Structure formats: C-alpha cells, structure tokens
Structure 1
Amino acid sequence: MRYTLFVQPIDYLVIGHVTQDLTPNGPVLGGTAAYAALTARAMGLRVGVVTSCHPETDLSLLSEVQVMAWPADHTTTFENLPGVHGREQILHHVAAPLQLNMIPEAWRKTPIVHLAPVAQEVDPKLVRSFPESFIGLTPQGWLRAWDSRGRVHFTEWPEARYVLEAANAAVLSVEDVAGNEIIIEEMLASIRVLVVTEGAAGARLYWNGDLRYFRPPMVQEVDPTGAGDVFAAAFFIRLHQTHDPWEAARYATQLAAISVTRPGLLGVPTPAEAQEKLIEIIP
C-alpha cells in the first residue's frame, strides 16, 4: 500500500473507492476513482485521490497521482457475470466509508472536486463541504444496492435533490437509473448540467432546458469498462476550463471513444491523445 505522506497542492480531487474487479484473467484495479484520476493526469492536472482499500492492494498504476488510501479489511470488489437478462454484477466486499475528516486540509479548496461513489461509500454531505470548488458528480454508487448474496440492483436515491442542487454538473449512465426516464426528468429539476451516457450510442447533454446528442466516432471496441468514468473526468475538467458544456461534451465523447479500444485502465487516454482531441477536426 502506498500512502501520500507529504500532501501537495492539487487541481483535481476524486473521492471514491478504487476497486478490485474480478475478471477471467484475474483481479484488476478499477473503479471510477482510478479511471478519473488517470484521465485528469493525462490532461495535465495535478491529481489527488481519497479512497479506502486493503493495505495490500496494488496501487502502482496510480503512481503519478497522490493517493490518500485509508486502510480497510477488504478492497471494494466487483464481479460481472452473464445473466438471463444481461450482465449480473456481484459485490463481494466494500471498503470503509469516506467522510470529510478523511480529506487532507490542503485539498479542501481544490478547484475541481469529483464525488465518485461506486457502492454507497461517499458521504452525501461532502457535496456541501467544498464551497469554493467546482463539484462534479458521478452518482452511480448512490443508485446501487445489493442483496445478501451481493447481487447489485438499482435503488432509489433519497438524497438526490440535496446533492444535485449543490453540484455544478453530473454524469450518469442510462443503466444507472435502470432506463427509467422519469428519474432523469426528476433530476433535471435540481441541476443545470446533466449528462446521460448511452454506451456505444454516445451521450445526451441537458443544459438549462436545452438537449443535445453527442455521437462517438466509429472505433473497434475492445473493452467498454471505464468509458463513462473517462467521459466524466474529461467533461468536468473541460467544462471548468471553458464554461461551455457543449464543448466539454464533444471533448469527453472523443476521449471516451479512445478508452474502449484498449482493455481496462490501459484505455485511459495518453497525454498526447488528450491534447490531440482538444482540437475538433471538421470534415
């Protein structure tokens, strides 16, 4: 386990569990926190992660970011299995919950804060703990529950209005709400900028009553894991830089398309790719 002993200033703070994802090829590091952190680093930002995991979890892939990893009995562990109605997700373990007292004082005025729960681990009150920061949300972990066997399913999000009203933007997938468009409409009443990703179909962006669709370029998909997390980090950063949600969505769509062409965290865009996609080429 690697801890950040000397906390340095950062530009982008992501709060959420790194995960251990069980695959046919063995366990791999995952989680929104990992994908978002590496995307932000590729975009040239100084990045910090506040997470919790087992002390023996290999975080070497995050060597270029500062990690404040609080010890837990287990690392949050997911397994995806084929099911009758599509993918069945199993949650085997959950690490420690993440609260304000776990965040270094030096990081509490970070320009961009990304709340990234994957298993109900991020305290919803954190959304109101960074009054000087841009707050981006990927609320999938607040929309998940699991039964006694660990089978993950959709659940209502009672704090939705409280959290969304205090955030600058949110990104979620249509799967996160089990395809329920009524829930999306309800969310729109509480936040000005909302993106709904739709896998290979791209994303739709709601902004102040307007709606636009963003279609990704044609690519050969190898692994879609983490594409939504790459999109979210790129979107939040570009929105903070430009104050233009349309441009942020265009850019994020390009980086997310890159991410599906390589497996796992290898799909995170390189600094060269992140720089290249800043310029839109119109045929």
Structure 2
Amino acid sequence: MKKIDYLVIGHITRDVTQAGNLVGGTVAYGGRVAHALGCNTAVLTSCQPEYEGLQELTGLTVKLLPSANTSTFENIYGENGRIQMLYTVASSLGVDDLPSAWPQPTVLHLGPLTNEVDPAIMHRYPESIIGLTPQGWLRHWTEDGRVYAREWPEAERYLPLADVVILSEEDLLNDEMLIRYRQHAKLLIMTENAQGCTVFYGEEVRQVAAPSVTQVEPTGAGDIFAAAFLTQYARNGRNPWQAAEFANFIAAQSVTKLGLDAKIELIQQVTQENFSIT
C-alpha cells in the first residue's frame, strides 16, 4: 500500500437527530476532513457491514471490522447544554485488527467514542505523530444509555505517549482533571466552542480565538478541529499556534453548514481560497 498520511481509528456512528439518522463519528468527520485537506487517509472502524453510513467514507482506505451493532448516539440539546444517549455499541478495535500491509502513517489519530479503541495501538506506530481525542475513554453510560463524563483510568499511562491531546470542555469533570492531564501531556488543546481553544504547551498557555460565524449545526466540529490541527501540525514543522489558528478557522466554517457533505464542500472551498495546502 502507498504512503498513509492520516490514519484515524474509532467507530463510525449512527446519529439519531430530529432530521433523521445521520452518519457520525471521528472517523467520518475527521477522516473526511483529512482527505479534503489532501491527505491519503485510512480508517479502521467497526459497524454493521450493511450500515449505509459507510458510503460517507468513499475515497478513503477502509478496514471494517464487522459487528452485529452500529454504535448509535443521540444528542439532545437544551438550555442547560447537551444530553447524550448511547443505544448500541459496535465491536472493539485493537492492534491485531490493523492490516499488516499498512505502512506507518504520518499522523495516527485515535478517536474513541465508546471506549472501543485500545490505546496500546500507539506502540504500533512509534514514528508517527500521535494525536488523541480521548472523549470515548472519558465517558461511561448507564443501563438506559445516558452518557456521563468520567475519569480515564489509564490516562497517566498513555497521555505521555501522545504528541497531541485534544479535549473539549464537556470531556472534563472538573478543573483539577485538566491540571493533571496537562502534567502528563506534551501538548494539550482544549476546545471551547465558539471561543476557539486554549493551547497548553510546556509552561506556555495561549487562548486562540476563533472567527465569528453564524452557527447552523455544531455536530462534528470537535472532530473537524482535531483533523485540521493534526494535519497542519504535521505540515508546518509542529508549530502548535499556527495549527490552532488553522483548525479554529476550519471548524468555524464547518458549523455554518448542515450535513457532512456540505461541511466538506465548504472546507475544500475556503482552504483553496485562503491557504496553500501541499
């Protein structure tokens, strides 16, 4: 197989919305964005083989682990924030599920959603830029499917192995959790929705503002930010400040459109108009 620029691992999902079922998951949003930004992109995921959402990964190299279920979420937005429900879960993803023929990627992005990704996969690709969006390791759910934030028991073991860790405010139980994760992560980014993000790099902390836009649909913005950041970080000599500005811009554009295809089309357009991507 030819060179892999971007390998993203996690569940593709079925997202229940008022407009009907939509495709979701870091592999879908992040994978499509990396591809739109010119990366040869590969995906390791699990779902029902007949899941129609797999069509959204056309153009990407996909290894599918067949499962009896497709991970299915519902996000319910209200005045007090988001209530998240998880109804079904696909199969777990481990080192042995990676094709032996796949070469070491430039960027390895682990994007768990249901605690499905074995973080030991990081050991498989020691020369890659390793990015974590650990939200799926930072949540648990009750018998009725209600999702809550939790501590990640293996955080101290695996955070130091990553080059970039990207969290959202919703992932954290408290401020003390952020302090501890900063101590273990080489480079930590906390996304803050319309406010942009805060970059923690060594002893330096910078708040990087996002452009002001009219929000239509925020779904997938965090995954889009992560893919844009990691792609640009790999290309610009690992400059976190410039990568954060780029990712803020791309994520802000994405929330002005409804649906993955429309978001990707706009991202390709604004990238061509504003940046030189090679």
TM-score (norm. length: structure 2): 0.94
User: 1:114-263, aligned counterparts within 5 Å?
Assistant: 114-178=109-173, 180-242=174-236, 243-263=238-258
Alpha-carbon distance in structure 2 between the residues aligned to 1:153 and 1:125: 24
Q: Deviations over 1:35-65 (max 9, x none)?
A: 1001101110100000000111111121111
Deviation at 1:276, TM superposition (A): 3.3
For 1:220, what is the secondary structure of its paired residue? coil
Match of 1:275 in 2: 272
What is the match of residue 46 of structure 1? 40
**Could you tell me how far 1:85 is from its partner in structure 2?**
4.2
Alpha-carbon distance in 2 for matches of 1:191, 1:86: 28
The answer as to whether partners of 2:250 and 2:267 remain within 8 angstroms in 1 is no
For 2:219 and 2:102, locate their aligned partners in 1 and report how far apart those are by CA, in whole Å: 28
C-alpha separation in 2, matches of 1:104 and 1:276 = 37
CA contact (8 A) 1:30 1:264 kept: no
Which amino acid in 2 is paired with 1:267?
Answer: K
Structure 1 counterpart of 2:16: 22
The one-letter code matched in structure 1 to 2:24 is G
Q: Deviations over 1:91-115 (max 9, x none)?
A: 0001000001111123251111000
Question: What one-letter code is carried by the residue in structure 1 that aligns with 2:248?
Answer: T
Matched, 1:79 2:79: no
Q: 1:181 to 1:277 in 2, by over 3 A?
A: farther
Amino acid of the structure 1 residue aligned with 2:232: R
CA-atom RMSD in angstroms = 1.5
Return the alpha-carbon distance in structure 2 between the equivalents of residues 161 and 107 of structure 1.
29
Q: Which amino acid aligns with 1:274?
A: T
SS in 2 for 1:262: coil
In structure 2, the CA distance between the partners of 1:83 and 1:220, relative to structure 1 (3 Å rule), is: closer
Contact 1:16 1:118 in 2 (8 A): yes
Preserved contact between residue 160 and residue 187 of structure 1 (Cα < 8 Å): yes
The letter for the 2-side match of 1:276 is E
For residue 274 of structure 1, report the CA deviation from its aligned partner: 2.4
Q: TM-score, normalised by structure 1?
A: 0.92
Q: Report if the CA contact (8 A) 1:170-1:194 is conserved.
A: yes
Contact 1:254 1:277 in 2 (8 A): no
Which letter does structure 2 place at the counterpart of 1:112?
V
2:4 to 2, 5, 10: 10
Task: In structure 2, give the amino acid aligned to 1:239.
Answer: Y
* Aligned-pair CA distance for 1:261: 0.3
Q: Tell me, what secondary structure is at the counterpart of 1:128?
A: helix
Identity of aligned residues (%): 43
Aligned to 1:57: 51
Q: Distance in 2 between matches of 1:177 and 1:8?
A: 38
- CA–CA separation in structure 2 for the residues paired with 1:82 and 1:188: 29
Q: How many residues align?
A: 272
Deviation at 1:260, TM superposition (A): 0.2
Equivalent residues of 1:251, 1:278 under 8 A apart: no
Q: Which runs of 5+ in 2 are unaligned?
A: none
Letter of the aligned partner of 1:203 in structure 2?
C
